[in-house]
Structure 1
Amino acid sequence: MDPQDISEISHLSAAALLDRVQHSEDPEVVHRVLTLVETVGVDEIAELWSKSEPDSLPGILWRLYLLRTWMRTHRDSIARLWRVGEPVATSASAIAGVDQAPTEEDIARTADSILSGAFTGDFAVALDRAAAFVDVVTLGLRIEAKIMITKAVQMHPESEKQIRTKAARLLHTAGNLSVTAKDFHHGAALWRCGKLE
């Protein structure tokens, strides 16, 4: 398809989906939208929204769906990272709505809550919650990488190299997540100004 046509379809579908759910009182509609990735498949949604700019409605919805999928798939490691990062970023836990020591199930519930809040609550608040959540996990990754590097210098050179490689991967992931958090913050600001389309 023509890239312009794909862009138009992605924007129209995102706006229609958001509008349909926000004007529905039916909890089944919310559930279907929440589990869209599981029922339709991430590839179908990716084909439609993944190339959308991060400062667009389809681009932000794509990131919200990916965040939920990632949180539910890696809930054990994310819960651990949250426990590492949260003591440093305590205000973010209040914004994200997560306890200091979340369980794996708490992470899954938070993932659902953030995405469903985008459809049933204030969209900007849902984006702020997503950004705060990602910020804490990012901080957890950076702290873990720093601890690894500190321990690595006391090890055999070959082990040190492996640990530094793992730490570099954590920092790379943290960098990517930091960009996503900024996208969520920017999307919330655009939504509040009526400019997220």
Structure 2
Amino acid sequence: MPERPHHKPMPRWSGFFDEVEGGADPAVVREAADRAAAVLVRGAGGTADPAVAERLLHLADTEGIETIAEVWAGAPADSLAGCLWRLFLLRSWVHREPVRAAREYDAGRRHAEVAEVVAGVADPPGPDELRAMVDAVLRGIAGSEFADVLLRASAFARVVAAGRAAMTEPSHDDVRRVLGLAEQLEAAAHLELAGRLS
């Protein structure tokens, strides 16, 4: 019987199996995130089914805001994925800190009157009213024009930013962040109106 040639075993190095199992291509992950966002916004938009709106509304509750962050947090503000991240982040903040949100919104109303009207919060704007408003905005993904959803969320954030700025000793970084969020959502709404948001 002929002797079989001896094969040297493949060398192993630390992290080899990590590369095999965890080697998701970031471009593929980003593409999947973009597709998921498009399905949620474009697939649900205009539906009359309230169950779809409720599922969208509670997506962060059922999946966790951290899971949503993993998928969409790095997306540009002028993309569907980036818009969804900002909308869910805004809702999460209002539900986590409704008293602070109500206080800042109330303080900003007289400084951003037009934005207050667009946001559509009941008067007086208490914690329950703000939670109801932000939930209604997110339900709108399934039942209204996405540009309207973005404009309402932007207006709400603009009033909050004005409130933060008007309150004693505001943190300029905090005001800038919320105002930046408002401006990003408004810019995305204009892209959506022009048919260029994807």
Both structures adopt the same fold (TM-score exceeding 0.5): yes
Cα deviation for residue 119 of structure 1 reads: 2.5
1: CA distance, partners of 2:123 / 2:158 = 14
- Contact residue 137 and residue 149 of structure 2 kept, 8 A: yes
- Contact residue 135 and residue 181 of structure 1 kept, 8 A: yes
Is 1:188 the equivalent of 2:192? no
Cα deviation for residue 23 of structure 1 reads: 5.2
AA aligned opposite 1:11: D
AA aligned opposite 2:196: K
- Contact residue 44 and residue 141 of structure 2 kept, 8 A: no
Structure 1 residues 99-146: Cα deviation after superposition (integer angstroms, max 9, x where no partner): 4531110000011011111321011111111111101100111111xx
- Contact residue 86 and residue 100 of structure 1 kept, 8 A: no
Aligned to 1:17: 40
Aligned to 1:171: 172
**Following superposition, which runs of at least 4 residues in structure 1 exceed 3 angstroms of deviation?**
none
Cα deviation for residue 62 of structure 1 reads: 0.6
Single out whichever of 23-32 and 68-77 deviates more from structure 2: 23-32
Is 1:63 the equivalent of 2:64? no
AA aligned opposite 1:192: L
Aligned to 1:155: none
Cα deviation for residue 25 of structure 1 reads: 3.0
Cα deviation for residue 98 of structure 1 reads: 1.5
Aligned to 2:96: 73
Q: Which has the larger radius of gyration?
A: 2
2: CA distance, partners of 1:23 / 1:97 = 20
Counting only pairs closer than 5 Å after superposition, residues 35-74 of structure 1 correspond to structure 2 as: 35-74=58-97
- Contact residue 53 and residue 140 of structure 2 kept, 8 A: no
Is 1:123 the equivalent of 2:124? no
Counting only pairs closer than 5 Å after superposition, residues 63-102 of structure 1 correspond to structure 2 as: 63-102=86-125
Structure whose residues are more often helix by fraction: 1
Single out whichever of 21-30 and 119-128 deviates more from structure 2: 21-30
TM-score of the aligned structures, taking structure 1 as reference length? 0.84
Q: Identity of counterpart residues, as a percentage? A: 33
- Contact residue 71 and residue 107 of structure 1 kept, 8 A: yes
- Contact residue 46 and residue 142 of structure 2 kept, 8 A: no
Q: Is the partner of 1:93 in helix, strand or coil?
A: helix
Structure 2: runs of 5+ lacking an equivalent: 1-23
AA aligned opposite 1:171: H
TM-score of the aligned structures, taking structure 2 as reference length? 0.84
2: CA distance, partners of 1:53 / 1:84 = 30
Cα deviation for residue 31 of structure 1 reads: 0.5
Cα deviation for residue 19 of structure 1 reads: 2.7
Cα deviation for residue 48 of structure 1 reads: 1.1
Structure 1: runs of 5+ lacking an equivalent: 149-166
Q: How big is the alpha-carbon RMSD for the aligned residues of Structure 1 and Structure 2? A: 1.3
Aligned to 1:34: 57
- Which residue of the other structure, out of 30, 36, 53, is the alignment partner of 1:7? 30
Cα deviation for residue 22 of structure 1 reads: 2.1
Aligned to 2:159: 136
2: CA distance, partners of 1:136 / 1:46 = 25
The alignment of Structure 1 onto Structure 2 pairs a total of residues equal to 175
Aligned to 2:6: none
